[in-house]
Structure 1
Amino acid sequence: MKHQPNRLINASSPYLLQHAHNPVDWYEWGEEALAKAQAEDKPILVSIGYSSCHWCHVMERESFEQEAIAKVMNDYFVCIKVDREERPDIDQIYMDAVQALGVNGGWPLNVFLTPQQKPFFGGTYFAPSSWTQVLTNIDKAFKLNRQQIEDTSEELRLHLLRSEVERFVQKPNDSDLLQDLHQSYEKLESNFDSIWGGMDRAPKFIMPSVWLYLLRYYYLTLNKTALDHILLTLKRIGMGGIYDQAGGGFARYSVDQYWFAPHFEKMLYDNAQLVTLYSEAYRLTQDESFKTIVYETLAWLDREMTHSSGGFYSALDADSEGIEGKFYCWTQPEFNEVLGDDAALVGDYYRMMDDGNWEHGMNILMREKSDEVFLMNHQLQPEAWSKILEKAKKAMMERRASRVRPGLDDKIITSWNAMMISGLVQAHKAFREEAFLTKAVAAIRFLENELIDGAVIFRSFKDKRSNVHAFLDDYAFVIRAYIDLYTVTFDAYYLKRAVYFMNYTITQFYDTKDGFFFYTAEVSPALIARKKEIFDNVIPSSNSVMAQNLHHLGILADRDDWKHIAETMSGSLAHLVVGEPNYMSHWGIVLMEVRNGMSEVAVVGKECADTAAQLNATYNPFMLTMGMEKESELPLLEGKIALDDKTTIYVCYNKSCRLPVHRISDALDQIISKHPAALRH
Structure 2
Amino acid sequence: MNRLKDATSPYLLQHADNPVEWFEWGEDAFAEARRRDVPLLISVGYSACHWCHVMAHESFEDPATAAMMNERFVNVKVDREERPDVDAVYMAATQAMTGQGGWPMTVFATPDGHPFYTGTYFPKAHFQRLLAGVSNAWEGDRETVVGQSSTIVEALNERSALPTGPLPTARTLAEAVETLGRSFDPVRGGFGGAPKFPPSMALEFLLRYGAAAKTPPGEEAAVVMAERTLEAMARGGIYDQLAGGFARYSVDADWVVPHFEKMLYDNALLLRVYTHWWRLTGSVLAKRVALETADWLLAEMRTPEGGFASALDADSEGVEGKFYVWTPEEVREVLGEEDGAWAIGLFDVTGTFEHGTSVLQLPADPDDDERFADVRARLLAARGRRVRPGRDDKVVAAWNGLAVAALAETGAVFRRADLVEAARAAATLIDDLHLDSDRLLRTSRDGRAGSNAGVLEDYGDLAEGLLTLYGVTGETRWFDRAGTLLDAVLDRFSDGSGGFYDTADDAERLFQRPQDPTDNATPSGQFAAAGALLTYAALTGSIRHRQAAEEALGTVTVLAGKHARFAGWGLAVAQAALAGPIEVAVVGPAGDPATTALHRTALLSAVPGLVIALGEPGSAGVPLLEGRGLVGGLPAAYVCRGFTCRMPVTTPSALKTELLS
- TM-score exceeds 0.5: yes
CA distance in 2, matches of 1:636, 1:27: 51
CA distance in 1, matches of 2:187, 2:165: 40
Match of 1:201 in 2: 193
CA contact (8 A) 1:605 1:645 kept: no
In the alignment, residue 652 of structure 1 is paired with which amino acid?
C
Aligned: 1:568 with 2:563: no
| 1:418 positional shift | 1.1
Task: Indicate the SS of the match to 1:204.
Answer: coil
Matches within 5 A, 1:304-383: 304-340=300-336, 341-353=338-350, 356-368=351-363, 370-371=364-365, 375=367
Q: From 419, 423, 437, give the equivalent of 1:454.
A: 437
Task: Indicate the SS of the match to 1:643.
Answer: coil
Matches within 5 A, 1:118-157: 118-157=114-153
| 1:55 positional shift | 0.6
Match of 1:648 in 2: 636
CA distance in 2, matches of 1:632, 1:578: 45
Matches within 5 A, 1:13-412: 13-162=9-158, 166-172=160-166, 177-221=169-213, 222=215, 224-340=220-336, 341-353=338-350, 356-368=351-363, 370-371=364-365, 375=367, 385-412=368-395
> Over residues 632-655 of structure 1, what are the superposed CA-to-partner deviations in whole Å (9 max), with x where a residue is unaligned?
223222221111111111111112
CA distance in 2, matches of 1:342, 1:105: 46
In the alignment, residue 410 of structure 1 is paired with which amino acid?
D
Deviates more, 1:487-496 or 1:56-65: 487-496
Aligned: 1:536 with 2:519: yes
CA contact (8 A) 1:265 1:316 kept: yes
Match of 1:381 in 2: none
> Over residues 522-561 of structure 1, what are the superposed CA-to-partner deviations in whole Å (9 max), with x where a residue is unaligned?
2222211111121112211001111111111112122111
In the alignment, residue 412 of structure 2 is paired with which amino acid?
K
CA distance in 2, matches of 1:229, 1:482: 30
Aligned: 1:524 with 2:507: yes
Match of 2:402 in 1: 419
In the alignment, residue 658 of structure 1 is paired with which amino acid?
R
> Over residues 565-604 of structure 1, what are the superposed CA-to-partner deviations in whole Å (9 max), with x where a residue is unaligned?
1112213541222331011111111222223311111111
CA distance in 2, matches of 1:364, 1:170: 44
CA distance in 2, matches of 1:294, 1:220: 22
Task: Indicate the SS of the match to 1:411.
Answer: strand
| 1:465 positional shift | 1.8
Structure 2 length-normalised TM: 0.96
Q: Structure 1 runs of 4+ off > 4 angstroms?
A: none
Q: From 667, 676, 681, give the equivalent of 2:655.
A: 667
In the alignment, residue 121 of structure 1 is paired with which amino acid?
Y
Task: Indicate the SS of the match to 1:578.
Answer: coil
Match of 1:679 in 2: none
CA contact (8 A) 2:601 2:655 kept: no
CA contact (8 A) 1:94 1:111 kept: yes
CA distance in 1, matches of 2:250, 2:562: 26
Q: From 443, 453, 459, give the equivalent of 1:475.
A: 459
Match of 1:382 in 2: none
CA distance in 1, matches of 2:472, 2:490: 26
| 1:197 positional shift | 0.7
| 1:438 positional shift | 0.6
In the alignment, residue 182 of structure 2 is paired with which amino acid?
S
Task: Indicate the SS of the match to 2:355.
Answer: coil
In the alignment, residue 415 of structure 2 is paired with which amino acid?
R
> Over residues 180-230 of structure 1, what are the superposed CA-to-partner deviations in whole Å (9 max), with x where a residue is unaligned?
222211111011111111113011111100111111121223362222221
| 1:656 positional shift | 1.3
| 1:409 positional shift | 1.0
> Over residues 650-672 of structure 1, what are the superposed CA-to-partner deviations in whole Å (9 max), with x where a residue is unaligned?
11111211111112222222222
Deviates more, 1:259-268 or 1:628-637: 628-637
Q: In the superposition, relative to structure 1, how do residues 301 and 575 fare at CA in structure 2: closer, same or farther (>3 Å)?
A: same
CA distance in 2, matches of 1:169, 1:184: 17
In the alignment, residue 194 of structure 1 is paired with which amino acid?
P
Match of 2:475 in 1: 491
Match of 2:605 in 1: 618
Q: From 2, 6, 11, give the equivalent of 1:6.
A: 2
Work out the percentage of aligned pairs sharing the same amino acid. 38
CA distance in 1, matches of 2:596, 2:116: 58
Deviates more, 1:105-114 or 1:213-222: 213-222
CA contact (8 A) 1:191 1:199 kept: yes
CA contact (8 A) 2:576 2:610 kept: no
Deviates more, 1:67-76 or 1:589-598: 589-598
CA distance in 2, matches of 1:111, 1:489: 47
CA contact (8 A) 1:280 1:426 kept: no
Task: Indicate the SS of the match to 1:201.
Answer: coil
| 1:149 positional shift | 1.4
CA distance in 2, matches of 1:506, 1:19: 38
In the alignment, residue 254 of structure 1 is paired with which amino acid?
S
CA distance in 2, matches of 1:104, 1:639: 56
What value does the CA root-mean-square deviation take over the aligned residues? 1.5
In the alignment, residue 353 of structure 2 is paired with which amino acid?
W
CA contact (8 A) 1:488 1:609 kept: no
| 1:273 positional shift | 0.3
| 1:147 positional shift | 1.6
Deviates more, 1:290-299 or 1:236-245: 290-299
CA contact (8 A) 1:241 1:260 kept: yes
In the alignment, residue 408 of structure 2 is paired with which amino acid?
V
Aligned: 1:598 with 2:593: no
CA distance in 2, matches of 1:272, 1:590: 18
CA contact (8 A) 2:598 2:650 kept: no
| 1:237 positional shift | 0.6
| 1:410 positional shift | 1.2
Match of 1:445 in 2: 428
CA contact (8 A) 2:205 2:572 kept: yes
In the alignment, residue 164 of structure 2 is paired with which amino acid?
Q
CA distance in 2, matches of 1:109, 1:620: 42
CA contact (8 A) 1:651 1:671 kept: yes
CA contact (8 A) 1:488 1:613 kept: no
In the alignment, residue 361 of structure 1 is paired with which amino acid?
G
- Matched residues, number: 650
CA contact (8 A) 1:577 1:587 kept: no
CA distance in 1, matches of 2:555, 2:41: 38
Q: In the superposition, relative to structure 1, how do residues 80 and 347 fare at CA in structure 2: closer, same or farther (>3 Å)?
A: same
In the alignment, residue 323 of structure 2 is paired with which amino acid?
F
| 1:618 positional shift | 2.7
Gaps of 5+ in 2: none
> Over residues 306-334 of structure 1, what are the superposed CA-to-partner deviations in whole Å (9 max), with x where a residue is unaligned?
11221111111111111111111112112
| 1:110 positional shift | 0.2
Task: Indicate the SS of the match to 1:410.
Answer: strand
In the alignment, residue 346 of structure 2 is paired with which amino acid?
Y
| 1:455 positional shift | 2.2
